[in-house]
Chains A and B, each alone.
Chain A
């Protein structure tokens, strides 16, 4: 162990600017503790992350501890800053979907949903979106929500030592992924929703497969609930831990399951419906316990509610049959249809024949729309949706061109992360992991 002494008073973290700082690298924790006792220092500054298996990504947490008690906790973010918002300013409005889907990567569809709704609001075509496209968006958003909650519950269990919870949750998630892959062609980072509609409709036999999936996933989630929620270790570790009451939630701008665990049934799908959510029959589960256990419970309940929405969406898709999934306006609608060829997914052979052999105008139109994109009227818009982690908003500014002048996202993880200090201070060091898992942020979304 090397203990180096530096007498630079920082005052940033320690309350006493004259207190000496000691940096410790490696070594045995007992030696560190003994050294602290010898020096008469009660508080030890401890670093957790950014490379740590239970920080939901590359989060760094700086902890000031006295013994096992956390006296101060601060989150350090930015280790996954990707410049996604900046990148979007250099791409067309349609290409923007490809970037924002990679923000909160366990929840791709809800990112896309917020973004495309924002672009459509700017274009003034919100009411022109075909019903089938809206139903498909709701379906995919809910599937994404289920997948995101399953990751939250699974990794949360894993971090408390229950690897079985993770393997079980991920098995259920794979079933969800089968459907997402069937519809969008990809497991993650789908770029399925486009301004004006969605990339493609439901493939043949899709409705039947969705219903099959709902039954299977419900079975798996039942198993996870039985295994997890009644496990005495899990209950002991999470009941009454990481409490955050309603007043604190409101003050910090916390949304999603964390807010609903404090008792406020605030869900934008009910409060400010979009994409026809008002026509679906589902409940918003709430609790008043405001602890880590109730948040896990709410996520499990929300999975069941989302499965209900998925079933209803499947019924609607069956009723709607084949129909357009893109706006009729040829100035906005993506010109090509996707199909599966001998060399993989691509533009349909019929469309290629049309633009290459039959119509010069069609070729020019295709070329212009694909390379340059469409103009969006100047102005700005804020569109909020209910992501699995809370209020997922997008602020778009257009200068009238084919690219966003500014695209900003309000990721719920970023705001909810601010509650970490309040949840952990005064508690045990081991409960920091529980608090992190109960907030369920994803650093891809927090840092963007």
Chain B
């Protein structure tokens, strides 16, 4: 039997299944280790005793992107590093989410210059933007729980998410490339 969102009267079944899968997914978001700069130290601190991210099911930091669901882009992303970030993101299996930790990852932050990508959303679609320089571990945990709420609500079949991602990608491609953006340090 084939059931998807178009099947009539599948509401109860798919709804329950969706809720269960969402609950399970949200409770075991494994991040890929993508520490870049200062924020990565706070990300590590979040993983250790005082804050303990494992209370939220995300303590399993994976070295291999294939085993991870979540990419926490922790820190400033340089132009040289950008293709590598995209490669690691592409290697992650669907469904996958991205937290942009800190202002540098979210918008370039204080480093409005030739070296830093002015926001990782130029490179990968971002689900949660987390401000702070660096954000405290509590803030990272808050970002994670916020994401978990989103994950719980997400449809089981990926079409809508893919549409959202495709729209975000199309918008990013249309946006002014960083090489054409001029700040104070042109």
Q: Is there an interface contact between A189 and B78, defined as CB atoms closer than 8 Å? A: no
In the bound complex, residues from chain B placing their C-beta under 8 Å from that of A174 are 45, 48-50
Chain B residue at minimum C-beta to C-beta distance from A60: B84
B63 at interface, CB cutoff 8 A: yes
A407 to chain B, nearest CB (A): 14
Among listed A32-40, A98-106, A127-135, interface-contacting one: A98-106
Whether A51 pairs with B115 at a CB distance below 8 angstroms is no
Say yes or no: is B114 at the interface (Cβ < 8 Å to chain A): yes
Tell me whether A79 and B61 are in contact in the complex, defined as CB-CB below 8 angstroms, given that A86-B114, A106-B41 are known contacts: no
1/0 contact trace for A23-56 toward B, CB 8 Å? 0000000000000000000000000001111000
Q: Are B115 and A50 in contact (CB under 8 A)?
A: no
On whether the beta carbons of A57 and B38 are closer than 8 Å, the reply is no
Among A49-105, those with CB < 8 Å from B are 50-53, 57-58, 78-84, 86-87, 90, 98-99, 102, 105
B contact residues around A81 at 8 Å (CB): 78, 80, 115
Tell me, yes or no, whether B119 is within 8 Å of chain A by CB.
Answer: no
Q: Which of B24-78 contact A (CB under 8 A)?
A: 33-38, 40-42, 44-45, 48-50, 61, 63, 75-76, 78
Residue pair A82, B76 in contact (C-beta under 8 Å)? yes
**Alpha-carbon gap, A178 to B112, bound state (A):** 31
| Stretch of A165-173, A199-207, A250-258, A303-311 with 4 or more beta carbons under 8 angstroms from chain B | A165-173
Per the bound structure, the CA–CA distance linking A27 and B86 in Å amounts to 20
Contact indicator B49/A90 (Cβ below 8 Å): no
B185 within 8 A of A: yes
- Give the residues in chain A near B184, CB-CB below 8 Å: 90
A87 neighbours in B (Cβ, 8 Å): 110-111, 113, 185
Shortest beta-carbon distance, B35 to chain A, in Å?
Answer: 7
Query: What's the nearest-Cβ distance from chain B to residue A157, in Å?
Result: 12
B130 to chain A, nearest CB (A): 15
* B144 CB within 8 Å of chain A: no
B33 touches A53 (CB 8 A): yes
Q: CA A151 – CA B48 in complex, angstroms?
A: 12
Question: Are A105 and B48 in contact, CB atoms less than 8 angstroms apart?
Answer: no
B41's contact among A51, A168, A188, by CB below 8 Å, is which?
A188
Nearest A residue to B44 by beta-carbon distance? A170
Residue in A58, A168, A171 whose beta carbon sits within 8 Å of that of B36 in the complex: A58
Residue with the highest number of chain B CB atoms closer than 10 Å, among A79, A155, A443: A79
- In angstroms, Cα B110 to Cα A99, docked, is 9
**Which residues of A lie under 8 Å from residue B80 when comparing CB positions?**
78-79, 81
Interface string of A174-193 (1 = CB under 8 A from B): 10000000000001110000
A51-B34, A79-B80 known; A188-B42 Cβ under 8 A: yes
Q: Is the CB of B185 within 8 A of A167?
A: no
A387: B residues at CB distance < 8 A: none
Chain B residues with Cβ below 8 Å from A53 are 33, 61, 63
A170 touching B48 by the CB < 8 A rule? Answer: yes
Distance in angstroms between the alpha carbons of A78 and B50 in the assembled complex: 33
Interface flag for B88 (CB, 8 Å): yes
In this complex, the interface size class of chain B, counting residues with CB under 8 Å from chain A, is 35 or more
Q: Do B133 and A189 touch (CB < 8 A)?
A: yes
A444 CB-CB contact with B under 8 Å: yes
Q: Mark B130-149, 1 if CB is under 8 A from A, else 0.
A: 00011010000000000000
Residues of B within 8 A of A151 (CB): 41
Residues of A within 8 A of B37 (CB): 57, 80, 82, 102, 105, 443-444
Cβ–Cβ < 8 Å partners of B185 in chain A: 83, 86-87, 90
- B119 to chain A minimum Cβ distance, whole angstroms, is 15
In the complex, residue of chain B having the shortest beta-carbon distance to the beta carbon of A102: B38
CB distance from A173 to the nearest CB of B (A): 7
Contact of B134 among A58, A155, A189 (CB under 8 A): A189
Kindly report which residue of chain B lies nearest to residue A448, judged by CB atoms: B115
A261 CA to B85 CA, complexed, in Å: 37
Are the C-beta atoms of B134 and A167 separated by less than 8 Å?
no
Chain A's nearest CB lies how many Å from the CB of B67?
12
Closest to A155 in B: B44
The one of B35, B38, B50 that contacts A170, using a Cβ cutoff of 8 Å: B50
Using Cβ atoms and an 8 Å threshold, which residues of chain B touch A80?
A: 36-37, 75-76, 78, 81
Partner of A50, one of B42, B76, B84: B84
Which 5 residue pairs across A and B have the least CB separation, nearest first?
Answer: A170-B48, A105-B38, A83-B115, A83-B113, A53-B63
18 interchain pairs, CB-CB under 8 A: A51-B34, A78-B78, A82-B76, A82-B111, A82-B115, A83-B113, A83-B115, A83-B116, A102-B38, A105-B37, A155-B44, A167-B49, A170-B50, A174-B50, A187-B42, A188-B38, A188-B41, A188-B42
List the interface of chain B (C-beta within 8 A of A).
33-38, 40-42, 44-45, 48-50, 61, 63, 75-76, 78, 80-81, 84-85, 88, 110-111, 113-116, 133-134, 136, 184-185
Q: Could you list which residues of chain A lie within 8 angstroms of chain B, going by C-beta atoms?
A: 50-53, 57-58, 78-84, 86-87, 90, 98-99, 102, 105-106, 151, 155, 166-168, 170-171, 173-174, 187-189, 443-444, 447
Contacts A80-B75, A171-B48, A187-B136 given; 11 further ones with Cβ under 8 A? A50-B81, A50-B84, A51-B84, A78-B80, A79-B78, A79-B80, A82-B76, A82-B113, A87-B185, A166-B48, A447-B78
